[in-house]
Amino acid sequence: MTHTETHPESPDGTPAEASAGLIPAPRAVEGPLGGGVPLDRDTTLWAAPGTETTERWLRAALGAAFALPLRPAARDTVGVRLLLDDALEPEAYRLSATRDGGVEIRGGGPAGVFWGAQTLRQLLGPEAFRRAPVRPRPAPAVPYQVVEDAPRFRWRGLMLDVARHFMPKDGVLRYLDLMAAHKLNVLHWHLTDDQGWRIEIRRYPRLTETGSWRARTKYGHRASPLWEDKPHGGFYTQDDIREIVAYAAERHITVV
């Protein structure tokens, strides 16, 4: 017997109750029903060609949070399955968790599958965002339901200004993880301004030798007479830039 819950709509047309806890709120949710698909040490992960980046990300993220191996298996094994579906829009996904079928994420393209995997992580609760298990817990479970979504906007961006206040490479990588968790797909990376030059140009070494550091920083508004008399600066090597761009691409984020 199929059971579909209906939910009152919010002002923007999104089912208010169904989307509670998911960011951004999805287009449609069927359920949740009672119970869920447990994820334990016997849970397998099958990934169709074209979904390899999501496969790697899921093993890293859920493996760290819950100590799950997510062993490879055949497609028809009841576990977690990732696949492409050209009937969907490129960034759209359909996540279904059922008693007999396990968890299946279909995406119109590789990015759609990845956004579906982000929703799977959210459905598992705050523990899924840890980098190591805190204490022994029962196996997490994905509630029986179907979640469907597609972005309303092609460009979903965040601007990170490291010209005025430098952020080390690890901080930028953390920002990319946070963007992916919220299904943002464009990083506007502001690397140069009059307060600092942050990108290595080997032909012009003084850009970073001199331009990446300042002797002091003003507090508050530009008209403020207050200063913090402490040097501030830093820059990214060309290899740092390449690593950040590659890390973003693995998360279907374009760096501008």
Q: How far is CA 161 from CA 6, 154, 166, 189, 200, in A?
A: 43, 22, 8, 6, 17
Q: Residue 202 has which token pair?
A: 């080997």
> What is the pLDDT at residue 20?
57
Q: Residue 251 has which token pair?
A: 């998360």
CATH class of 28-149: alpha beta
Instruction: Name the residue among 68, 72, 90 with its Cα closest to residue 81.
Output: 72
Q: Residue 206 has which token pair?
A: 């003084």
Could you tell me if 191 and 163 are in contact, meaning their C-beta atoms sit under 8 angstroms apart?
A: yes
Helix (H, G, I), strand (E, B) or coil at 150: coil
> What is the pLDDT at residue 8?
38
Q: What is the spatial distance between Cα 218 and Cα 222, in angstroms, rounded to a whole number? A: 7
Q: Residue 96 has which token pair?
A: 């279904």
Q: Where are the alpha helices (DSSP H) in 84-168?
A: 110-123
Per-residue pLDDT of the chain (256 residues; tens, 9 = 90+): 233 333 434 434 433 344 458 999 999 999 888 899 999 999 999 999 999 999 999 999 999 999 999 999 888 888 999 999 999 999 999 999 999 889 999 999 999 999 999 999 999 999 999 999 988 778 899 999 999 999 999 999 999 999 999 999 999 999 999 999 999 999 999 999 999 999 999 999 999 999 999 999 988 888 999 999 999 999 999 999 999 999 999 999 999 9
Q: What is the spatial distance between Cα 77 and Cα 71, in angstroms, rounded to a whole number? A: 11
Start and end residues for every CATH 3.30.379.10 domain found in the chain: 28-149
pTM (2 d.p.): 0.88
Could you tell me if 20 and 5 are in contact, meaning their C-beta atoms sit under 8 angstroms apart?
A: no
